Amino acid sequence: MDVYAEFVDFISAGVTPEQILNYRASDEMREHFYTLLQKEKAGTATAADKAILDQCMELEHIVRMAKLKARRHVKGE
């Protein structure tokens, strides 16, 4: 599963600040993330699972930064 593809597809469609503020990962992506997180907590995550979790965390950081900037645009800052 390409962690970044879903968000890149969303952004490349040309979105407004409001749409960025309302962005949520798909149910499938969130479910996959939580499954991997449970595997990590149980100590059964593979190296590949951990790499995907790292990508998810990086993407979460990027989305948060995008939402912060979008919020500033909406407020006119």
pLDDT digits (tens, 9 = 90+) for 1-60: 688 999 999 999 999 999 999 999 999 999 999 999 999 999 999 999 999 999 999 999
**Alpha-helix runs per DSSP H in the chain:** 5-12, 17-21, 27-42, 47-75
Helix axes 5-12, 47-75, angle to 10 degrees: 30
Query: Residue 2: its pLDDT value, please?
Result: 87
Helix axes 47-75, 27-42, angle to 10 degrees: 130
Q: pTM here?
A: 0.85
